[in-house]
């Protein structure tokens, strides 16, 4: 009870603080606030936008703010960014006086503290993932209603969106309902996927050195998404059998990386033998793991359609397929992807053994065309051009 009273008192003071800064503080046209509320690291779309921003000569007079929490690896953040604790009065001030907000997911705390976005501020919500499979936010209302009233705060957060950069016609349609009609959708690319169109050798070397993987080994990445009810039985891939099948089909020795979703990082210790698979759940940049992987296995995660861009083999392991469709819902059937779908280990291994690379690449091209996907190595350039133009604008 005492802690609850202290928390309520804290929020009362923060509401008062937000009222005062809204009333007396003006927007700084050369201030940009960025963060990654999804995993609180210098990663994902904001990272790649940030990297492009600091290349621009005109940015030298700007104030660049990156919001951090206690889990942030601050060594990854470029010196050009001033680091501010997310859970602080200073962060509320920076939000209130910034011309541009850039985030890849919802940030609820400022809203709960009473922060108001000024009419001169532009909120660019990059979201995360591309051509996503699983329904999110308003499109999966019954899921998020059960998660600490998250749906309510999602809607409040979405109402502040001004622009959402996308890389496909599919997303242009989906984000309208997903974010309750808020945010003007701009088909200018996904910043984080720009890495797909660059030289991969240095990234492959970086990952292998980081995890002490022999140069000659190939990499399989298993990266499933989270389950709202916390179930784990659906992640039961037989790693020993998987290695044997991979060697049989593709040759060579294989290293298996497990990348658990940020909401379910405990699955590695629960389900996998550290002698058989490497825990890559804490590796900051998922896109680098995708570039380094020779093969991807996932389920309903957007990493599967993103990986299609690379045209490398991918497989879907969805042991709870029917249940997931009934409870969460998908934007399109898994069968529309080029990745073969399996619901048990036996089927997964057979799909690997029967893999047809020529057919897969043909289906990959067809899938990307159907999604209306268009992107390249210049997505960060286009997005930053768009952002800098907005810093000079007073109208939305």
Cα(132)–Cα(168) distance, rounded to whole angstroms?
11
Q: Is residue 123 part of a domain?
A: yes
CATH number of the domain residue 207 falls in? 3.40.50.12580
Q: Which domain holds residue 174?
A: 2-194+377-391
pLDDT of amino acid 194: 97
The percentage of residues in the chain with a pLDDT greater than 90, rounded to a whole number, is 90
Q: Residue written as tokens 């492009």?
A: 52
Judge whether 333 lies within some domain: yes
pLDDT in tens, 219-254: 999 999 999 988 999 999 999 999 999 999 999 999
Two tokens at 313? 């083999």
Structural domains of the chain, count: 2
Same domain, 118 and 190: yes
Q: Looking at the structure, do residues 204 and 168 belong to the same domain, yes or no?
A: no
pLDDT in tens, 136-184: 999 999 999 888 789 999 999 999 999 999 999 999 999 999 999 999 9
Between CA 278 and CA 292 the distance in angstroms is: 14
- The pLDDT score that the predictor gives to residue 395 is 64
In a domain, 367, yes or no: yes
In a shared domain, residues 246 and 343? yes
Residues 137, 204, single domain; the answer is no
Which pLDDT score, from 0 to 100, does residue 396 have?
60
As a whole-number percent, the residues of the chain with pLDDT over 70 amount to: 98
**Contacts (Cβ under 8 Å, ≥6 apart) of 195:** 48, 203, 287, 288, 291
| Residue 348 pLDDT greater than 70, yes or no | yes
CATH number at residue 79: 3.40.50.11820
Whether 9 shows a pLDDT value over 80: the answer reads no
For the chain, give the mean pLDDT.
95
Asked if residue 96 and residue 69 are part of one domain, the reply reads yes
Whether residue 228 is found in the same domain as residue 177: no
pLDDT band at 88 (very low <50, low <70, confident <90, very high): very high
Task: Judge if 45 and 166 occupy the same domain.
Answer: yes
For residue 108, is it within any domain? yes
Judge if 119 and 246 occupy the same domain: no
Distance CA 256, CA 352 (A): 15
- The CA-atom distances, in angstroms, between 365 and each of 90, 277, 358, 361, 362 are 48, 32, 11, 6, 5
Would you say 329 and 134 are in contact if contact means Cβ atoms under 8 Å apart?
yes
In terms of Cβ atoms closer than 10 Å to its own Cβ (0-12, 13-18, 19+), residue 298 is: buried
pLDDT band for position 2 (cuts 50, 70, 90): low
359 domain residue, yes or no? yes
270 pLDDT band, cuts 50/70/90, is confident
- Do 18 and 129 share a domain, yes or no? yes
Residue of 110 and 264 predicted with greater confidence:
110
Any domain includes 396 = no
pLDDT at 269: 80
Residues 6+ apart with CB under 8 A from 193: 130, 167, 287, 306, 309, 375, 379
- Whether residue 214 sits in one domain with residue 162: no
pLDDT at position 140, please?
94
Structural domain includes residue 22: yes
Neighbours of 389 (CB within 10 A): 9
What integer is the mean pLDDT of 345-374? 98
pLDDT, tens digit (0-9, with 9 covering 90-100), for 373-384:
999 999 999 999
Flag whether 242 is in a domain. Answer: yes
239 and 213 part of one domain: yes
In the numeric block, which tokens belong to residue 200? 């991969």
| Amino acid 266: pLDDT | 82
What confidence score (pLDDT) does residue 149 get?
Answer: 82
pLDDT, residue 10, reads 77
Whole-number pLDDT of residue 129: 87
246 shares a domain with 137: no
3-state DSSP of the chain: CHHHHHHHHHHHHHHHHHHHHHHHCCCEEEEEEECCCCCCCCCHHHHHHHHHHCCCHHHHHCEEEEEECCCCCHHHCCCCEEEEECCCHHHHHHHHHEEEEEECCCCCHHHHCCCCCCCCCEEEECCCCCCCCECCHHHHHHHHCCCCCHHHHHHHHHCCCCEEEECEHHHHHHHHHHCCCCCEEEECCCHHHHHHHCCCHHHHHHHHHHCCCCCCCEEEEECCCCCCCCCCHHHCCCHHHHHHHHHHHHCCCEEEEECCCCCCCCHHHHHCCCCCCEECCCCCCHHHHHHHCCEEEECCCCHHHHHHCCCCCEEEECCCHHHHHHHCCECCCHHHCCCCEECCHHHHHHHHHCCCHHHHHHHHHHHHHHHCECCCCCHHHHHHHHHHHHHCCCCC
């Amino acid at each position: 009870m005492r802690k609850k009273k202290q928390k309520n008192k804290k929020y009362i003071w923060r509401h008062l603080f937000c009222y005062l800064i809204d009333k007396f503080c003006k927007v700084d046209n050369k201030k940009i606030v960025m963060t990654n509320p999804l995993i609180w690291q210098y990663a994902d779309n904001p990272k790649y936008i940030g990297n492009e921003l600091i290349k621009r000569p005109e940015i030298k007079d700007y104030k660049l703010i990156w919001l951090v929490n206690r889990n942030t690896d601050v060594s990854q953040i470029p010196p050009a960014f001033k680091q501010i604790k997310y859970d602080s009065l200073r962060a509320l001030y920076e939000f209130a006086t910034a011309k541009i907000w850039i985030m890849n997911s919802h940030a609820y705390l400022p809203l709960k503290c009473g922060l108001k976005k000024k009419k001169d501020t532009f909120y660019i919500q990059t979201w995360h993932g591309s051509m996503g499979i699983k329904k999110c936010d308003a499109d999966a209302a019954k899921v998020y209603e059960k998660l600490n009233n998250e749906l309510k705060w999602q809607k409040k957060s979405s109402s502040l969106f001004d622009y959402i950069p996308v890389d496909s016609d599919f997303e242009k349609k989906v984000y309208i309902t997903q974010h309750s009609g808020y945010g003007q959708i701009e088909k200018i690319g996904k910043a984080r996927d720009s890495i797909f169109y660059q030289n991969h050798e240095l990234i492959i070397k970086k990952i292998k050195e980081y995890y002490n993987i022999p140069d000659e080994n190939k990499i399989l990445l298993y990266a499933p998404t989270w389950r709202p009810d916390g179930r784990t039985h659906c992640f039961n891939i037989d790693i020993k059998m998987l290695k044997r099948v991979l060697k049989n089909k593709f040759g060579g020795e294989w290293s298996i990386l497990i990348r658990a979703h940020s909401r379910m990082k405990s699955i590695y210790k629960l389900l996998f033998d550290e002698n058989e698979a490497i825990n890559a759940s804490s590796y900051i940049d998922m896109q680098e793991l995708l570039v380094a992987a020779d093969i991807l296995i996932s389920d309903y995660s957007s990493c599967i359609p993103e990986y299609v861009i690379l045209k490398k083999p991918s497989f879907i392991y969805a042991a709870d397929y029917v249940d997931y469709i009934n409870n969460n819902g998908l934007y399109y059937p898994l069968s529309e992807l080029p990745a073969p779908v399996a619901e048990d280990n036996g089927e997964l291994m057979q799909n690997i053994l029967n893999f047809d690379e020529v057919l897969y690449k043909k289906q990959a091209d067809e899938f990307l065309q159907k999604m209306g996907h268009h992107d390249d190595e210049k997505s960060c350039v286009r997005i930053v051009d768009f952002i800098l133009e907005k810093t000079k604008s007073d109208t939305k």
